[in-house]
Amino acid sequence: MITSMLVVHGLFAVPLPQRVTPADLSDPEAAEEVARWAILLGVQPDWLGHTVVQVTAQIRDGSKAVRKPFRPMMRLFGWGQSWAMFASPDTWPDRLEIHLRVQGQWVLLYRRWDADHWMRGVLRYRRVRGIYDAANERSVPYWNVSRWIAKRALLDHPEADAVRVRAMQLHTTLPGQEPDPYEKPHLVRVHKRSSLFPDDDLAP
Amino acid sequence: MSLLRRWVALWNQREHARSLALVRILLGLVILYDLLELWSLDLVVPLFAPQDAGGWVDILSREPGFPYTLLPPDAGTAVLFHGALVLAALAFTLGFFTRSSTLILLLLWSAHAYSVPPASRAVDQLCRDFLGVLVLSGAGRTLSIDALIRTGSVRGDGSTIGAWARYLIITQLVVMYCTAGLQKVGMLWMPMGHFGALYVILQDPAIARFDFAWLAHQPAYLLTQLGTLVTVAWQIGYPLVLLWLYYKNTPDRPGRLRAFANRYRLHWVWIGVGALFHLLLAATVEIGIFPWAMLAAYAAFLLPPDPAAERPDFGPAERRCWLGCERVGNQEGEGAPKKGPQSA
C-alpha cells in the first residue's frame, strides 16, 4: 500500500509544465520571459511562444489521462504535489491601494508599505492575499473582496461616500538596469455608499 | 537480500513514537494558530460562507460540497464548519482520538479547499499530505491524551510504531523541495537572469514584508544573488539528504564519501540550511504559516529514542532502521539490553 501511494503521488509530483495558452502569453511577465528565452535560444519569440503552447498542451493531455483514475481520491483528501512556488518571479507585481472619496476628493486609506495600517492584519493574511493577488478582471472573489473592504472602510469612515479598491501594476527591474517608473492601475472597483448601504443604514 | 526484500524490510521498521508525536503536536499548533487567526480577523463568514450569505466565493455556483449538501447555505453553517475544523485540529494536536480527529481534520480541510479554491495555498496542500500520512500512523501513541487514557501516562508505554510514517514525511519534504527547485524555470533563477529571483521577489508588495528597495545596492544585491543560487542548488540537491542519512546509519560500511559525510555531518548541513531558509522566509516575506509548517515537519528528522531504554523488557532485537533510529533489544535469555549498532 505504501508503494502504491508513493507511485500515485509520484505521478502527481512529476514536475511537468502547466498548460500555456495564447492568452497566458499576452501577460507582460510571460511575454518578457519568452523574449528572454528567445534571445538565449536564438529563435523568434513568436515561434517560441507557439511551440510552448503546443508542447505544453500535449504534455497536459498526456498527464491528465495518466492521472485521471486517481483524481477522485486526491480530490477527496485534498492531496496534491504541485510545488511550482515562485517558478517565475513576478517582475510585474501588483500593489493594493484603497482610497476614500471625501467631498469629491480621493484620499489614500491603504497602500502597501506606504500607509498600510488600516485593516493591516486582514489584508496581509495569506488567504486574503491569495484572492486579490494575481486576480483578473473576471475574478468574482476579487469583486467580493473589494465590496467587503469597501463596506468596512465606509463603516470606519462615515465622512466618505465611496471607496475605490485597485491594484497598481508595477515593473521591477534588476539593479544595473534602467529603473522603470511604470505604474498602471487595474482591477479598479469603485463602491458607492448608496449601493452598499441603500437604506443609508451603517449596519452591514 | 533481494531488492524487494530490502524494500519491504525498510518500510517494516519499527521505532519509538516520540519524533512522530512531535510532528503531530507542532503541526497541530501551526494549523490551530492559522484557524484562530482567521477567526480573530473576522474572516470566518467571508472565507467559509456562500456568496449570498456574505462569502467571497460563489460556492453554490459549482457543485456544492460538504457541508452545504447537508446543511443550509448560510453564515451559521460557515461558523459551524470553522468550529468543527478548530475542534478537530485541537483534538489532533492533543492526541485525543488521534486517528479519528486526524481523518476528520483532513476531510473537513479538503472540503473547504474544494469550496474556496483561491484561499487554499500550497501550504494547505502540504499539511493535508502530512495529515494523510499521520492518519494511519501511531502519532498518538505518546505525548497524547490517548496515551494517558490507555496507559496512565502521557508518555505511553514505550510501545513501538511503524517507522514508515516518519519516512514518508521525510520523503514528502524531499519531493517538495526537489520538484520546487526543478520547476524554478524562470530565467531569474539562472545565471542568464543574473540570479535576480530573490531580489525580484523581495520587491513584490504583495509578498515582501517590508520595502526592500535598498537591496538594489551592493553588497546587499550580491547577497540576494548568492541566496538565489544556494536556494536552487539546495532544493534540487535535497534528495542527497537521504543519502547522508543512510551513510550516518551505516557508518561501519566502507567509502570515502560516507566517511566525509559522517565526519562533517552533512545531513545536519542540509537540514540546517533548510531551517535557516525558512526562518529567513518568515522574517522577510509574508507567506503565512508556510515556514512554520515546514519547521514542524522537520521534527521528523529527529531520531526517536531507543525503545529499549524506555522499556527494559523490550522484546526481541530488531534490525536497525537506516533512516534514523537504532534499536537494541535483549534476546531471550540474555541480560540487560546492549547499546550500539546491530548488524542488519
User: Is A45 near chain B, with CB under 8 Å?
Assistant: no
- Residues of chain A neighbouring B129 (CB-CB closer than 8 A): 9, 79-81
ipTM reported for the complex, 2 dp: 0.85
Residues 142-161 of B with CB under 8 A from A: none
Residue-wise pLDDT tens digits, A172-186: 999 989 999 999 999
pLDDT over threshold 50, residue B331: no
Q: What would the mean pLDDT of B320-344 be, rounded to a whole number?
A: 38
| Higher pLDDT pick, A202 / B42 | B42
Asked whether B81 and B35 are in contact (CB, 8 A), the reply is: no
Q: Record the pTM.
A: 0.86
Helix axes B266-284, B220-236, angle to 10 degrees: 130
pLDDT for residue A204 is more than 70? no
Q: Report residue B280: phi and psi, to 5°.
A: -65, -40
A92 touching chain B per CB within 8 A: no
Q: How far, in Å, CA of B176 to CA of B47, rounded? A: 27
Q: With H, G, I as helix, E, B as strand and everything else as coil, classify residue B64.
A: coil
| B338, pLDDT greater than 90 | no
Q: Is B183–A127 a contact, with Cβ atoms under 8 angstroms apart?
A: no
| pLDDT band, residue B3 (cuts 50/70/90) | confident
Which residues, 6 or more positions from A73, have their beta carbon under 8 angstroms from its beta carbon? A8, A79
> Number of residue pairs across A and B with CB atoms under 8 Å?
173
Place of cell 510504531: B161
What is residue B99's predicted lDDT score, i.e. its pLDDT? 96
Local structure of B67: helix, strand or coil: coil
d(CA B179, CA B182): 5
Query: Given the DSSP bridges, would you call strands B161-162 and A105-111 parallel, antiparallel or unpaired?
Result: unpaired
pLDDT at res. B128: 95
Lowest mean pLDDT among A132-146, B52-66, B137-151, B266-280: B52-66
Using DSSP, state whether A73 is helix, strand or coil: helix
* C-alpha–C-alpha distance, residues B223 and B229, integer Å: 10
Question: Cβ A78–B182 below 8 Å, yes or no?
Answer: no
Q: Report whether pLDDT(B119) > 50.
A: yes
Tally of CB atoms within 10 A around A68: 9
Q: Is the pLDDT reported for residue B329 higher than 70?
A: no
The pLDDT tens digits of the residues spanning B186-237 come to 999 999 999 999 999 999 998 999 999 999 999 999 999 999 999 999 999 9
List strand residue ranges (DSSP E) for A46-123, in order.
94-102, 105-111
Q: Which helix (H) or strand (E) is A166 found in, with range?
A: strand A162-170
- Is residue B273 a contact partner of residue B234, using CB atoms and an 8 Å limit? yes
Contacts of B339 (CB under 8 A, 6+ apart): B306, B328
Looking at residue B309, what is its pLDDT?
A: 57
Of B183, B216, B287, the CB nearest to A87: B183
- With residue B279 as reference, give the H or E element that holds it: helix B266-284
The answer to whether B201 contacts A89, with C-beta atoms less than 8 Å apart, is: yes
Q: Which helix (H) or strand (E) holds A154?
A: helix A140-156
- Strand, coil or helix: A172: coil
pLDDT of B135 above 70? yes
Specify whether the CB–CB gap between A181 and A173 falls below 8 A: no
H helix or E strand, kind and range, residue A192: strand A183-192
Beta bridge mates, A97 = A111, A166
The CB-side HSE value for B197 (13 A sphere, CA atoms) comes to 24
Q: How confident is the model at residue B316 (pLDDT cuts 50, 70, 90)?
A: very low
| A122-155 pLDDT tens trace | 998 988 888 887 777 778 888 889 999 999 999 9
CB of A77 closer than 8 Å to CB of B107: yes
Q: Would you state the pLDDT for residue B336?
A: 37
Using CB atoms, pick whichever of B113, B123, B187 lies closest to residue A37. B187
Contact yes or no for A169/A137 (Cβ under 8 A): no
* A170 neighbourhood in chain B, CB within 8 Å: 205
In sequence order, which residues have a C-beta less than 8 Å from that of residue A99 and are 6 or more positions away?
A: A106, A107, A108, A109, A163, A164, A166
